[in-house]
Amino acid sequence: MAKLLADDFNTGVIGERLNVYSPDWPKYGFAAGNMVISATNGIENAEGAGGSVASNYRADLVLPSADYSVSADVISGTSIIGVIARVSLSASTFYQARLNGYGTIELARSVNGAFTTMVSAPTNRTTQAKYRLRLECKDSQISVYLDDAATPLLTATSTHITTAGKAGVRSGPGSGYIDNFSIDTIDSVEGISASLNATLAEAISSSSANLQVEGVLVSELAAVILEMSGTLESKVSLVKTLAPATLTAAAYIEIEPPAPDGIEVALLSTLSAATLAAAASLAVNGVLSSTLAGPTLVAAARTSTAFDILRLHPARVVRFGGSGSRVVVFEGSGSRVVVFEGSGKRIRINEMDVKVPIKDGEKWKVERDRDEISYYAADITNELRDRNTTAVESAVIPLTYGVELLEGPEVQVATVEGVERTFVVVKLGDVDGELPDDWRWVARVPCANGERFDKTTWFSEVDP
């Protein structure tokens, strides 16, 4: 949002007409009264209770498009008073956000002088009060925001006035004041620190822009475009429809971005027909219960649950020294990823409630519930480095003993603390019947130099 114009009327002389105060504020031709500099608050209608409607507009500002917002502090009194946008100079035609006396906030339109109140809400005030009104026009979506709220109080769809026109102020007879007038663009949305309840349909969050929602994202995002490295982050549940949102290039939707503790949030949103292009990723650390029917995943785009956290947020992976020769655990919504480093240090995900490996003889074991379904990542970085070679990804074989292989294997690379590490990732299921003595899974890794090695993860049974 960029400011196009601001005026606090502080340089005016009390009682001076607004069009005298500045020639950039001419009278609007469809109102007989006069706005003047107020002794107390900005400007007011000079005519008093028995006079005429007063209206002025900013003549100097050529608005870059019909999509912009007009804001002002408006003090209610007995008049109908507010800001106007898309003002036609050839007819009494405009949109208006206004206070109607003490009791009502209205979004109205005047088309050739016929006033229609489209949307209205009570103020629940019975005495004079100051409100910050923002009238926002975006395509056919006309909205009124109150007191700099993140979400509109009033919204209407109207195609009656589509040209940019001018922006200004308007006051009926009676008491009421306008101060701190401004005109702003509405070309981007970013850094929303409260809950986002607004409709963002067809909004464009452009290159590198972040749409970050600290609270609940409950907004309609249909047709929203997140371009390039744009990010949609929601720190709590994302519960709204995203269809048919388009995420291009490296854009990604992230639910619950990096945080030191367990991740319990869920993606409940419909992504039907969403397009994730190029390297876009959809990372869901919590439950993915959304409809994904029909999404288009292009090029390297992927949806992922638990283990992609290694790739997307390697900073969350913390290695720490000690006697543990391997390990790690990553838990989220019932799934966990266990990463065996192989030698040296353990890795864990920050302060998560990890299951620490236990040394049993010469084996480091990970406690596992027999009904557990988890991701396991075997870190083969050191083995490859020792051999000065690479893995033949297509030939990697998972060997399972007493546990069902559900997915994988897949060779993944993640940069952890500045070091690029290679993992073999599988998803393992539960156990039928008796556990074997050598309950384990093995990543058998053929190398490009013709060698082969096994990386074994041992399990010990534990009740959930």
Binding span for another protein by CB under 8 A among 110-118, 267-275, 364-372, 384-392: 110-118
The CA distance from 360 to 216, in Å, is 46
Kindly give, in sequence order, each residue whose CB lies less than 8 Å from that of residue 255, ignoring residues fewer than 6 positions away: 234, 237, 238, 265, 266, 267, 283, 284, 285, 286
Residue with tokens 């785009």: 301
Residue in 19, 22, 78, 117 binding another protein, rule: CB under 8 A: 117
Binding another protein (rule: CB under 8 A), the pick from 1, 121, 194, 300 is 121
Q: Are 94 and 110 in contact (CB under 8 A)?
A: yes
Say if residues 439 and 459 touch (Cβ distance below 8 Å).
yes
Q: Toward another protein, which CB reaches closer, 158 or 234?
A: 158
Q: Smallest gap, in angstroms, from Cβ of residue 49 to another protein? A: 12
Q: Which of 120, 195, 291, 304 binds another protein (CB under 8 A)?
A: 120
Q: Considering the rule CB under 8 A, would residue 103 count as an interface residue with another protein?
A: yes
CB 95, min distance to another protein, A: 13
Residue 10 or 124 with smaller CB distance to another protein: 124
Stretch near another protein under the rule CB under 8 A, chosen from 149-157, 190-198, 406-414, 423-431: 149-157
Pick from 119, 236, 239, 373: which binds another protein (CB under 8 A)? 119
Q: Using CB under 8 A as the criterion, what x/- string covers residues 68-97 for binding another protein?
A: ------------x-----------------
Question: Minimum distance from CB of 107 to another protein (Å)?
Answer: 9
Give the C-alpha separation, 239 to 237, whole Å: 6
Distance between CA atoms of 385 and 164, rounded to whole angstroms?
Answer: 63
CB of 292 to another protein, least distance (A): 19
Pairwise CA distance, residues 182 & 201, whole Å: 25
- For 401-429, give the DSSP string: ESS-EEEEEEEEEEEETTEEEEEEEEEE-
Site for another protein in 341-370 (CB under 8 A): none
Contact 250, 299 (CB under 8 A): no
Residue with structure tokens 């409630």?
353
By the rule CB under 8 A, 49 interacts with another protein: no
114 counts as binding another protein under rule CB under 8 A: yes
What is the b/e burial string over 219-244, where b = at least 16 CB atoms within 10 angstroms of the residue's CB? bebbebbbbeebbbbbbbbbbbbbbb
Residue 172-211 contact track with another protein, rule CB under 8 A, x = bound: x---------------------------------------
Q: Which two tokens stand for residue 289?
A: 């219960």
CB of 197 to another protein, least distance (A): 13
Measured from the CB atom, is 81 or 403 closer to another protein?
Answer: 81
**Binding residues vs another protein (CB under 8 A):** 53, 80, 103-104, 106, 108, 110, 113-122, 124, 154-156, 160, 172
